[in-house]
Amino acid sequence: MIALLFVLFGLAAMSFVGVVPLFFEAGCEIAYPVNEVLVGTCLQMASFIVSGIYFLLLLNQFLASYTAWMTWTLLAGTTVSLFILYFVKDQYSRLDLDDDNVSQIQYNHY
């Protein structure tokens, strides 16, 4: 049973770590004319602020002893995120720009 828990937590951690770059890439695609560094910085800053508030709530004695709120908060955050992602339109502005540039290149055949 303990080995199964280790495997499940390992798979969950790997899937979480693998999804984070996809969210950063999606953020860069959505905000395309904006520099990728600025978008990444804003996303990382928002992540740090939300995580900091989440952990600062543990300084409250009642919330530290009653931990069921943590599970429900994470579930609500995931649900809200997936709900918002459902309404994001697929647009690949950078890819469209690259395709336009490639179609305009004339090749010299010798």
12 alpha-carbon distance from chain centroid: 15
**SS3 of the chain:** CHHHHHHHHHHHHHHHHHHHHHHHHHHHHHCCCCCHHHHHHHHHHHHHHHHHHHHHHHHCHHHHHCCHHHHHHHHHHHHHHHHHHHCCCCCCHHHHHHHHHHHHCCCCCC
pTM for the predicted model, two decimal places = 0.65
The yes-or-no verdict on residue 31 having pLDDT over 70 is yes
The Cα–Cα gap between 95 and 100 comes to 9
Percent share of the chain, pLDDT over 70 = 85
The yes-or-no verdict on residue 103 having pLDDT over 70 is no
Give the residue with greater pLDDT, 23 vs 96.
23
What's the mean pLDDT in 67-90?
Answer: 86
As given in the structure block, the two tokens for residue 87 are: 């309404």
The yes-or-no verdict on residue 110 having pLDDT over 60 is no
| Per-residue model confidence (pLDDT) at position 1 | 82
